[in-house]
């Protein structure tokens, strides 16, 4: 397929994800939503769901995705909708009573949600279990786990990080959505992560760091043949709330209400 067309498709997918994130947040009303962290990872999830991940509509050999930073589920639900797993009607139930789409993902294989996430620091271990399984059963699927940078405060992340190289999990791909903020402020002020890339490298991972909104760079990263036995870590430098003028780098949008006025402004911006 034509490379330009592929890039165009991914960019359009990403635009659609942003539109749906805002629409769902608006419809959630006073329940409010974790908008900032969903927008920062939108381009990452777009490259994965639109391009890189294989066999998403199969059962056995499909690549697996784990949203360890579960509060960013708006991006996840949007991507699942765009690949045909979650209907529009279902999207409208987000955070409503008795909904399948809660404020953090709840396991629902029919909707394409493999695991319940939201309590930070647990997704990488799940990914390791899946990667080990894939190798044991020779099923050859890849596993993609998205972590938050604040999430890397959790010790359980480092237990997992220490173990993955031991098992030579070269089918495990972790992306840290490094938007430099966590709930109540900057990572630097709350709990400084210092040089995150070096930390993962020292744990034995194959680490790279790129702009998490540059679709070309993201695509090239995932296209690269990586020969080592090491599990892969991408530090994606992102902007929390990326995509709309009023949300970008504004930590008020970690979790906030999208009013009708803001929604309309946002839709004008994204045309």
Partner 1 sequence: MEVNSRNIKLWSSIGPRAAFGLSALELVKKYSDLMVLTCDVSTSAGLDRFRKQYPDNYVDLGIAEQNMIGVAAGLASEKFKVITTTFAPFQVMRCCEQIKVNLGYMKEKITMVGLASGLVLGNFGYTHCCVEDIGILRSIPNIKIISPSDSLETIKAIEASLNDEESCYIRLTGGTNNPIINKDDYKFEIGKSIVLEKGEDILFISSGAILSECLKASNELRKKNINCSVVNMHTIKPIDDNIINKYSTKARLVVTVEEHNIIGGLGSAVSEVLSKKKNSPPLLVLGIRDEYSKSGSYKFLKEINRLTSEKIIEDVQKKINE
| Touching partner 1, residues 40-79 (CB under 8 A) | none
Cα of 174 vs its chain's centroid, Å: 10
User: Using alpha carbons only, how large is the chain's radius of gyration in Å?
Assistant: 17
Residue 260 CB, nearest approach to partner 1 (Å)? 35
Between residues 72 and 124, which has the closer beta carbon with respect to partner 1?
124
The CA distance from 4 to 209, in Å, is 24
Could you count the other beta carbons within 10 Å of the beta carbon of residue 2? 8
Residue 196 CB, nearest approach to partner 1 (Å)? 19
126 binds partner 1 (CB under 8 A): yes
Question: Which range binds partner 1 by CB under 8 A, 18-26, 81-89, 117-125, 260-268?
Answer: 117-125
Cα of 16 vs its chain's centroid, Å: 15
| Touching partner 1, residues 138-177 (CB under 8 A) | 155-156, 159-160, 162-163, 167
Between residues 106 and 257, which has the closer beta carbon with respect to partner 1?
106
98 binds partner 1 (CB under 8 A): no
The CA distance from 99 to 61, in Å, is 29
Residue 83 CB, nearest approach to partner 1 (Å)? 20
116 binds partner 1 (CB under 8 A): yes
Q: Using the structure block, give the residue that is written with the tokens 């990080």.
A: 161
Between residues 167 and 263, which has the closer beta carbon with respect to partner 1?
167
Residue environment code for 217-236, b if the CB has 16+ CB neighbours within 10 A, otherwise e: bbbebbeeeeeeebbbbbbb
Residue 107 CB, nearest approach to partner 1 (Å)? 5
Q: Which of 82, 124, 234, 236 binds partner 1 (CB under 8 A)?
A: 124
Could you count the other beta carbons within 10 Å of the beta carbon of residue 183? 12
Cα of 25 vs its chain's centroid, Å: 17
DSSP strand pairing (172-178 vs 181-182)? unpaired
199 binds partner 1 (CB under 8 A): no
Question: Which range binds partner 1 by CB under 8 A, 28-36, 112-120, 190-198, 244-252?
Answer: 112-120
Between residues 55 and 119, which has the closer beta carbon with respect to partner 1?
119
The CA distance from 182 to 186, in Å, is 6
Question: Which range binds partner 1 by CB under 8 A, 28-36, 45-53, 84-92, 108-116?
Answer: 108-116
The CA distance from 267 to 251, in Å, is 21
Where helices occur in 54-122 by DSSP H, the ranges are 73-82, 88-91
Contact positions toward partner 1, by CB under 8 A?
106-107, 114-116, 119, 121-134, 136-137, 155-156, 159-160, 162-163, 167
């Amino acid at each position: 397929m034509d490379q330009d067309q592929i890039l165009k498709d991914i960019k359009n997918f990403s635009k659609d994800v942003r539109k749906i994130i805002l629409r769902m947040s608006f419809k959630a009303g006073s329940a409010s939503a974790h908008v900032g962290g969903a927008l920062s990872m939108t381009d990452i999830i777009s490259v994965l769901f639109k391009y890189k991940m294989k066999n998403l509509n199969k059962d056995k050999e499909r690549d697996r995705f784990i949203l360890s930073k579960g509060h960013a589920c708006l991006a996840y639900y949007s991507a699942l909708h765009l690949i045909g797993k979650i209907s529009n009607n279902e999207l409208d139930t987000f955070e409503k009573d008795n909904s399948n789409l809660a404020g953090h993902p709840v396991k629902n294989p029919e909707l394409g949600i493999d695991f319940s996430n939201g309590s930070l620091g647990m997704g990488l271990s799940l990914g390791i279990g899946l990667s080990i399984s894939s190798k044991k059963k020779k099923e050859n699927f890849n596993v993609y786990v998205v972590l938050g940078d604040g999430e890397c405060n959790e010790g359980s992340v480092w237990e997992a990080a220490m173990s993955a190289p031991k098992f030579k999990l070269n089918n495990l791909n972790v992306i840290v959505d490094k938007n430099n903020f966590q709930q109540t402020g900057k990572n630097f002020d709350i709990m400084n992560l210092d040089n995150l890339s070096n930390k993962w490298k020292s744990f034995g991972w194959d680490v790279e760091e790129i702009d998490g909104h540059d679709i070309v760079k993201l695509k090239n990263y995932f296209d690269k043949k990586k020969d080592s036995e090491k599990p892969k870590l991408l530090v994606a430098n992102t902007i929390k709330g990326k995509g709309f003028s009023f949300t970008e780098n504004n930590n008020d949008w970690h979790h906030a209400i999208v009013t009708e006025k803001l929604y309309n402004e946002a839709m004008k911006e994204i045309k």
